[in-house]
């Protein structure tokens, strides 16, 4: 956070320096945009195969085969969730929120993709439906489904409040992954990563650049749906902050469950194949 009263005096050409126009770090003109037509064509006849209800202030894991859809729905009241994704066959390949943010921006919606970590760097899932796409960006600079936050965790909670809280999304996801895989908690914790904050309404303050949250616009029936580009193991935590209108690590906030549903289409999207690992060769200089 920049100081209100900087020690260094502004130079004579300060205004000129500030007026330099920004340049997009990662131009995506050469990044192939998904054609959602084939996805939507097969979605209409897809059959629901399973569901997982994520309890308030808790997390659950779920599995999605490549070529299937999964949908996250608010079912009883306004609730946000923290989503982790792993390659079901290799948990070292997981969602890379920072690179996804660099490619698609601070908040995701229809047509955006969730990218995996190095060295694979490939699409793990594609957003095919978002009933909150109408929200856009509000007057505070807030929007929905962010990849700028991390996840509420007990370590930051203790740092800032001095207390211990055991239902942070980090803790919930760790326990859920350990239960799903049978690995010890300390091994599972090392695999939990920065999230897609599903339904959460966030942004950066214009004066201090601080990460903020506000009451989510999500209502029962709202959902976001994805197409699994590879075999996925997912983890979803129903955040202890509820709609995150006041705080996100609390037993006082009203919290609700989230529903995850898996849908199997009768055929693959026309022209679709599972994305290959990134083609960069590490033999030259890495």
CA distance 256 to 242: 7
CA distance 275 to 120: 10
- Residue 242 gets the label, from left (phi > 0), alpha (psi -120 to 50) or beta, of left
**Which residue is it, tokens 């997390």?**
59
Higher pLDDT pick, 4 / 21 = 21
Pairing of strands 47-54, 59-64: unpaired
Domain chopping of the chain, boundaries? 49-226+234-264
* pLDDT the model gives residue 284: 67
For 4, 188, 240, 242, the CA distances from 199, given in Å and listed in that order, are 33, 25, 14, 10
Helix (H, G, I), strand (E, B) or coil at 186: helix
**pTM for the full model?**
0.96
**Residue 96: phi, psi to the nearest 5?**
-115, 95
Pairing of strands 143-146, 196-204: antiparallel
Res. 32 pLDDT band, cuts 50 70 90 = confident
Contact status, residue 207 vs residue 1, Cβ threshold 8 Å:
no
pLDDT tens readout for residues 200-243: 999 999 999 999 999 999 999 999 999 999 999 999 999 999 99
């Amino acid at each position: 956070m920049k100081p209100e009263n900087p020690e260094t005096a502004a130079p004579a050409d300060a205004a000129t320096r500030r007026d330099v126009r920004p340049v997009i770090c990662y131009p995506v003109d050469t990044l192939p945009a998904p054609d959602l037509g084939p996805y939507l064509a097969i979605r209409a006849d897809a059959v629901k195969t399973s569901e997982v209800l994520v309890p308030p202030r808790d997390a659950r894991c779920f599995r999605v085969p490549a070529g299937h859809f999964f949908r996250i729905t608010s079912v009883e009241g306004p609730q946000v969730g923290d989503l982790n994704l792993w390659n079901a066959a290799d948990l070292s390949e997981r969602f890379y929120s920072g690179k996804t943010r660099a490619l698609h921006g601070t908040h995701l919606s229809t047509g955006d993709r969730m990218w995996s970590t190095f060295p694979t760097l490939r699409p793990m899932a594609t957003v095919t439906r978002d009933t909150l796409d109408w929200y856009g960006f509000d007057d505070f600079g807030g929007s929905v489904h962010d990849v700028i936050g991390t996840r509420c965790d007990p370590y930051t909670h203790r740092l800032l409040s001095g207390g211990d809280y055991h239902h942070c999304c980090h803790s919930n996801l760790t326990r859920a992954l350990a239960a799903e895989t049978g690995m010890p908690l300390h091994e599972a914790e090392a695999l939990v990563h920065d999230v897609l904050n599903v339904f959460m309404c966030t942004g950066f303050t214009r004066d201090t650049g601080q990460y903020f949250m506000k009451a989510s616009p999500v209502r029962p029936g709202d959902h976001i749906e994805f197409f699994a580009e590879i075999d996925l193991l997912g983890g979803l935590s129903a955040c202890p902050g509820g709609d995150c209108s006041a705080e996100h690590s609390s037993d006082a906030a009203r919290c609700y469950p989230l529903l995850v549903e898996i849908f199997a289409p009768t055929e693959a999207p026309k022209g679709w194949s599972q994305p290959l690992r990134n083609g960069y060769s590490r033999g030259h200089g890495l």
